Amino acid sequence: MPLAKQFWIEEEYTALKVNRLSINHQSYIFLATDKGVYRFNGAKFSLVRSSIKSPVTALAASGDQLWLGYKNGLLGMLGEDSVIPFKLPEPYQNAEIRCLLPQEDGALWIGTDNGLYLYRDKQVQYFSTDKGLSDNFIYQIIRSSNGHIWLATDYGVNELIPDNKTFRIRQYRTKDILGDDIVSAMAQLNESELLLGAEKGKLARINIHNGQLSPVTLPAQVSGQILDLLVLNNKEIWFSTLDAALWRLDRLGEDSFAAQQMTSPQRTIYTLLADKSGNIWAGGQLGLSMLSNRYLESIPLAPPYRLSDVTALAIDQHNHYWIALGKALYCFGQEGKVQKVKTFPSKVSVLHYDKEMGLWLGTSANGVWLKSNESNAFEQPAVFEHKNDGILSISTLPGRLWVAGLSGLHTYKVHKEKITKIQLLKDQESISGEYIYKLAAGKPHSLWMATDGSGISFFKQDKSTNWASLGAEQENVIYSLAISGSNAWAAGMANNIYHLAGDQWQLFKSSEAGHTITGLNVNGSGQLIAGYQNCIDLWYPEQRLYRHISIHSGMNIDSFSHILNTGATDQEGNVYIPYNRGLLFFKNQEQAFDIRPDVVIRAAFANSEPLHASATSLAAGDYLLNFYYDGISYTNPENLHYRYRLEGYNDEWIYTKDMDAVFPKLKWGNYKFRVQVSLSADFSQAKEAVYSFSIATPLIYHKWFLALLALSLIGLTFFIVKWRERRMKRIAQLKEEKLNFEFEYLKSQVNPHFLFNSLNTLTGLIEDDQKSAVLYTERLSDLYRHSIVSYGKDKASLAEEIELLYAYIYIQEARFGKALQIDIEVTEAQQDKYFLPVMALQLVVENAIKHNVVSHLQPLVVKVFVDNEVLTVVNKINLKISKAAHGGIGLENIERRYKMLSGLTMEYGAVDNCWIVKLPLLK
Amino acid sequence: MARILYLLTFLLATTPVFAQHLFELKKGVVEFISDAPLEVITARSKKLNGILDLSKKQFAFKVELRSFDGFNNAMQKGHFNENYMESNTYPQAVFKGKIIEDIDPEHKGTITVRAKGKFIVHGVEQERIIPVTLKIGDNHSISVSGKFSVMLVDHNIKIPKVVIEKLSPEIWVTVTGVLTEKD
């Protein structure tokens, strides 16, 4: 009997009909129901948003796409979070979609209740009875290994053979072999055969190369339309019928199968699916149920079986179950036959079946008994000395018997009916002192012992090894051992499980609170079954993962035995563990199941904006990243461990049980978010999901930008420095000129010639005209005062210059009288407005006096006037013959000063026998 | 030309009488029973009518839901029409489709055939295959009888939790009638 767990898709105990099941590349199970398509991760059902409101009747996964077919004929594709309607062009007409077959080249076959459509290269081809199909009602489409398309219809099987752009159709009637032409189910059986199921409840096989049909014999009880076929492998086939039955077929030969009816919590099962972790899923009228049949079954036992009474268990070679309930021994056969065999004087503590000799039985106060294969009676062989011994464990190998009791360990040689006691080892006595909880024999002639206080001892041929204490906790009380080939496991009082690696016992699983070990068993395919008082862990040692089976597994398991080592194996290595309803049958698994969970990153948000697809590039800025991921496990979905890290930010793993990760502030860079999922804290084999993205560097951090900036800064500095340098030079030059001029002017003012002349004039005046002399002296002092005042200034106002000129003119006129005539035509307004280089005007006039004849016969006339913002000084040229000392400052000096003060140029030169000096007015 | 015409006439003359093979049902009986732990409800309608095309092997049957009578009390009939079947919106139950097996009207006797088609009730259509017994008798009459179950949940007929013990989720329906040939 399979153990089944019922899942309620929406509310508890509310039925929702599942029409089809499919599993996609991410390992999600999708359910096509009357209310839409649901996504299942093992723990939660999520309804996928869809704008199509119609029951989903077909599902097909191909590559990374999932196609959905609806009852109203519409077609959809699964997008990121919703169903995307897929519109098909003419001649597609909406009819209930019964089946879909996507091809790798992107084409899609759609089977409806009104014909067959092929969507390829954006075009639709229609096949119906008019085009050669035997019927328009298509149940199933399968592509066989030779590339042909097979249809199961209401009127036989059709084969579509590719022929250029279209197909040749071959029809096969099935009525003769299958009993019916309504082929309601079809599945691929092997490379060359398809399995067909009929409405009348029969099965047949068809060969794809020659179209030949062969029947499949089924028991008469099978009735009702075959709804779905699940071919697990060539040896095991499941199918469901409309009569609310679920069957399992086990192949016996080429044509023959043994059929067994499975009970299922659901009435009618419409769809079957097998996942890679070994579960079988059935979708039906109530919803979804999970069957554990491929790894675990239940063998229900009727009363007087009662879990709390079970003290020992053994399975014989006919697969009869020998169960000791206290002092009484029962035999539970197949078909529920129960037989009370014998009541013993004390509690039966050990049962061990040995193919050669029979059933060995140990009691708690009455020694060892044997029921040989030939007889039905139990005897106490004479060779056993301690007739009232309490027996703890019995183990056998061909020719050998070991008995561990309260009196110690006894070894016997067994040959046919003769049992002789032998010595195990010379120093056997030393270890016999401790009680032995469990004996396990391994080939050839080796014996393992789990002892109370001395750890584990191992005997092989003549050598003995002892591990007095195991692990960090120095455990020396070992309750149970399980040996399989080269693997050995042990568990003791501290509830840790150890594994023998080489010659050391290593910790395999550390204890968990509340889990008290009761026994270890290994089955024939290498799975370790660790039994506890309130649960059982089914280990897949290579994956270091286990299936957790407890009262919370939802499979009507309520309790387990608290007695040590009640588990037993049959001749093939299948393990049996007693539980409240009977025996849990942990069978040898037909293939290696991968129970590792998967993880999928469902959504990523950057600053609350959703990100699409992998490897996005974000613009520069500050970001808060949110990741939401989903773990998929059909084994222990409530116990998923996650760990994640954001590479590029921090390489440390963060361990969590939550399904989201937040990174509050991320700078620029390349990042990879990696999340892994596991059923335990061991992530060495974990599957992972990755999301890559990058945040652009802001402009200022780009290397080239920085370099450019630096370069330009340097350039700027250089430029500034140079400019300042130039300015400084100009200022220095100006200063120098000024100094120079001042020096020269001063020199000229202290010119003895000028002073001589001036004083001469003064003398004459003192005698003639006192008043004029005073005025003359005042004017002279004005001149000198002016030069003192002007010392240090660069320019003077036109008013000041003219004032100075007047002072100078007075002095000169006092000397020359009417021989000098200077006309100044400058308005007051002009005087206030303009400026000139200091003493420039006086110099020019002085120059004129110096170079020209000034006499009563040839008077010098100088005109000074403003013309277009230029002060013009004009005089007739009448050069003195003798060139006076040229120790003057000269016009060149004024010219230079103009250059330094402004951009204006002074002009001077002879024009029509007149000397013109043009002084541009400064502002 | 003349020869073909002659041949045609000859063929027509020898065509069997049942040229059309149309059979009609006017007063068929539909009876249903809900067997629940606390209550058993039965009702019957005598107004099932339909048509059967023997040559094309197609059929169509319908019955007015308001024509059902025989409930345990009048209120029950009211509930049946207003709350469960919503007869205002979906007044009829229809079954139409094809017959799988061949039927030879000349061959008198009882045969079991499968009627496969769409069964529509309460606006929800389900593909059903219903085995039906046909008894071909004299006078070109075919008596038909069939029995099938209808799961209320299949047709979106909701049972409130308060009456779960009084209404069975599976209703058994029996159909009987006599089809006569339509001329």
Domain count, chain A: 3
Question: What number of residues does chain B have?
Answer: 183
Q: What is the pLDDT of residues A451-467, one digit of tens each?
A: 888 888 888 877 788 88
A658 plus A771 within the same structural domain? no
Nearest Cβ partner for B127 among A17, A113, A285: A113
Q: What is the pLDDT of residues A197-239, one digit of tens each?
A: 998 888 999 999 988 999 888 888 888 899 999 999 888 999 9
pLDDT for A538 equals: 93
Sign of CA dihedral B146, B149, B153, B154: negative
Contact yes or no for A392/A404 (Cβ under 8 A):
yes
Among A17-21, A52-56, A449-453, A740-744, the range scoring the smallest mean pLDDT is A740-744
Q: Are strands A400-405 and A391-397 parallel, antiparallel or unpaired?
A: antiparallel
CA separation for the pair A224, A418 (Å, rounded) = 58
3-state secondary structure of A211: coil
Contact A784, A808 (CB under 8 A): no
Run of H or E including A842: helix A840-851
Report if residue B120 sits inside a domain. Answer: yes
| Contact between A182 and B127 using a beta-carbon 8 Å cutoff | no
pLDDT confidence band for A2 (50 / 70 / 90) = confident
Write out the two tokens for A171.
Answer: 């029809």
For A433, phi and psi rounded to 5 degrees?
Answer: -60, -35
Note whether A285 contacts B: Cβ–Cβ < 8 A: yes
Residue B9 lies in a domain: no
Nearest to A199 among B129, B151, B154 (CB): B129
Distance of CA A34 to the CA centre of its chain: 34
Q: List the one residue out of B124, B128, B119 whose CA is nearest residue B157.
A: B124
Q: What tens digit of pLDDT does each residue of B110-136 get?
A: 899 999 999 999 999 999 999 999 988
| Residue B173 domain boundaries | 20-181
Cα angle value A735/A739/A745 (rounded, 5°): 140
Claim to verify: residue A667 and residue A754 sit in the same structural domain: no
Burial label, A526 (beta-carbon count in 10 A; 0-12, 13-18, 19+): middle
Does a structural domain hold residue B13?
Answer: no
Domain shared by A577 and A668, yes or no: no
Q: What is the CATH number of the domain that holds B104?
A: 2.40.128.110
Is residue B63 within 8 A of residue B45, CB to CB? The reply is yes
* Shared-domain flag, residues A846 and A915: yes
Residue A602 and residue A561 share a domain: no
Q: Does A243 touch chain B (CB under 8 A)?
A: no
Residue A304, in any domain of the structure: no
Say if B10 falls within a structural domain: no
Three-state secondary structure string covering A155-194? CEEEEEEEECCEEEEEEECCHHHHCCCCEEEEEEEECCEE
Query: What residues of chain A lie within 8 A of the CB of B114, using their CB?
Result: 182, 199
Asked if B114 reaches chain A (Cβ–Cβ under 8 Å), the answer is: yes
CB pairs under 8 A between A and B: 18
Cα gap A293→A261, rounded to integer Å: 12
Which of A241, A190, A245 lies closest to A214, judged by CA?
A190
Residue A778: CATH number of its domain: 3.30.565.10
| CATH number (domain holding residue A533) | 2.130.10.10
A298: closest CA of chain B, how far (Å): 30
Q: Name the strand (E) or helix (H) holding A845.
A: helix A840-851
Backbone angles phi, psi at A336, to 5 degrees: 75, 15
What would the two tokens of residue A289 be?
């149920």
- A511 and A484 inside one domain: yes
Domain boundary, last residue among A659, A688, A717: A688
How many H-runs (helices) and E-runs (strands) does chain A carry? 9, 71
Tokens of A692: 């890559």
In a domain, B45, yes or no: yes
Domain total in chain B: 1
Question: Do the domain assignments include residue A886?
Answer: yes
Task: Please give the DSSP secondary-structure letter assigned to residue B80.
Answer: I
d(CA A739, CA A747): 12
Structure-derived torsion over alpha carbons of residues A87, A88, A94, A95, reported in degrees to the nearest 10? -120
The total of other beta-carbon atoms located within 10 Å of residue A643's CB is 18
Q: Looking at the domain assignment, is residue A814 inside a domain? A: yes
- Domain range holding A898? 726-920
* CA distance linking residue B140 with residue B182, whole number of Å: 10
Which pLDDT score, from 0 to 100, does residue B16 have?
46
In angstroms, the CA A556 to CA A96 distance is 39
The DSSP H or E segment spanning A641 is strand A641-647
In percent, how much of chain B has pLDDT > 90?
55
3-state secondary structure at position A832: helix
Of A15, A96, A154, the CB nearest to B116: A154
Q: Same structural domain for residues A564 and A538?
A: yes
pTM of the model: 0.76
Query: Which amino acid is located at A550 in the chain?
Result: S
- Residue A48 corresponds to which amino acid? V
Q: Are residues A684 and A822 in the same domain?
A: no
> Average of pLDDT values for A690-706?
82
Residues A682 and A536 in one domain: no
CB neighbours (10 Å) of residue A473? Answer: 14
Q: How far apart are CA A815 and CA A755, in angstroms?
A: 12
What sign results for the dihedral spanned by CA atoms B108, B114, B117, B120? Answer: positive
- In angstroms, rounded to a whole number, what is the distance separating the alpha carbons of residues A402 and A423? 11
Half-sphere exposure of A125 (CA within 13 A, CB side): 11
- Asked whether residue A543 falls in the same domain as residue A473, the answer is yes
Q: What is the pLDDT of residue B18?
A: 44
pLDDT, tens digit, 9 for 90 and up, residues A833-854: 888 888 888 888 888 888 888 8
Q: Encode pLDDT of A555-567 as tens digits.
A: 888 889 999 999 9
Closest to A186 in 3D by CA, of A167, A210, A159, A221: A159
> Is residue A519 a contact partner of residue A569, using CB atoms and an 8 Å limit?
no
Residue A15: which of B116, B129, B153 has the nearest Cβ? B153
Residue of chain B whose Cα is closest to the Cα of A15: B153
**Residue of A458 and A152 predicted with greater confidence:** A152
- Computed over every residue of chain A, the mean pLDDT equals 86
pLDDT in tens, A515-536: 899 999 999 898 999 999 999 9
Residue B167 lies in a domain: yes
Residue A843 counted as domain residue: yes
| Most A CBs within 10 Å, among B149, B153, B159, to test the A interface | B153
DSSP A90: T
Taking the Cβ of residue B40 and every Cβ of chain A, the question of whether any pair is shorter than 8 Å is answered with: no
Q: Which residue has the higher pLDDT, A13 or B2?
A: A13
Q: Does A904 touch chain B (CB under 8 A)?
A: no
**Residues A656, A797 within the same domain:** no
- The mean pLDDT value for A615-621 works out to 79
Nearest partner of A238 among A222, A254, A214, judged by Cα: A222
Q: Residue B12: pLDDT above 60?
A: no
Say which DSSP state A88 is in: P
| Contact partners, residue A706, CB within 8 Å, separation at least 6 | A700
Angle at B47 between CA B45 and CA B49, to 5 degrees: 130
Q: Please indicate, yes or no, whether residues A584 and A602 belong to a single structural domain of this protein.
A: no
Rounded to whole angstroms, the Cα distance separating A631 from A638 reads 10
A155/chain B closest Cα distance in angstroms: 9
Instruction: Please provide the DSSP assignment of A231-265 as one string.
Output: EEETTEEEEEETTTEEEEEEE-SSS-EEEEEEP-S
Give the tens place of pLDDT for each residue, A727-765: 998 888 878 877 777 766 666 655 666 677 778 778 877
Model confidence at A630, in pLDDT bands (50, 70, 90)? very high
Q: Please say if the pLDDT value at position B14 is more than 50.
A: no
Q: Which residue has the tokens 């990760």?
A: A661
Quick one: pLDDT at residue B4?
A: 61
Residue A643 is encoded by which pair of tokens?
A: 């760990």
Q: Which two tokens stand for residue A25?
A: 């590349």
Radius of gyration of chain A (CA): 57
Per CB-CB distance under 8 Å, the chain A contacts of B116 are 137, 154, 182
Strand order in the sheet with A328-332: A310-315, A321-325, A328-332, A338-343
Alpha helices in A682-751 (DSSP H): 703-749
**Type of residue found at A539:** W
